[in-house]
Amino acid sequence: MNVFGMGLPEMALIMVIALLVFGPKKLPEIGRSLGKAIRGFQDASKEFENQFKLEAQQIEQGLNTPTPSESEKIAPKEVATAEVATAEVATAEVATAESNNHATTSSQQS
């Protein structure tokens, strides 16, 4: 077993020193708190890794979606321009018809 570059003999020596320093009553509490701290660190690192992967996938998807070509960007403006031109022509036709109507009515009254 090799944890943090230490083998079983080194880990046993550390445990004996910890037992002598802290005593048999305090050692289980220290072990629990150390275990909780390690578990919290592992959870935080997994959460960071998952968030990193999620953002990388979102960036990849953003790069893979096709962007509208220049002709597609211009097309809506052309449609709007055509609608305005049609409205202007219709307005001009109505104005011409009204002036013709007015001229006809005026000539009939005279």
In a domain, 110, yes or no: no
Spatial CA neighbour of 10 closest among 23, 36, 32, 18: 18
Tell me if 7 sits within 8 A of 1, measured CB to CB. yes
pLDDT at 23 over 70: yes
Alpha helices in 7-69 (DSSP H): 8-22, 27-64
Which residues are 3's β-sheet partners? Answer: 6
In a domain, 41, yes or no: yes
Name the pTM for this structure.
0.42
Say which residue, 66 or 36, is predicted with more confidence: 36
The tally of domains found in the chain comes to: 1
Say which residue, 104 or 54, is predicted with more confidence: 54
Instruction: Read off the pLDDT of each residue in 68-89 and give the average, rounded to a whole number.
Output: 56
Segments forming the whole domain that contains residue 37: 26-63
Say which residue, 98 or 25, is predicted with more confidence: 25
pLDDT at 76 over 60: no
In a domain, 40, yes or no: yes
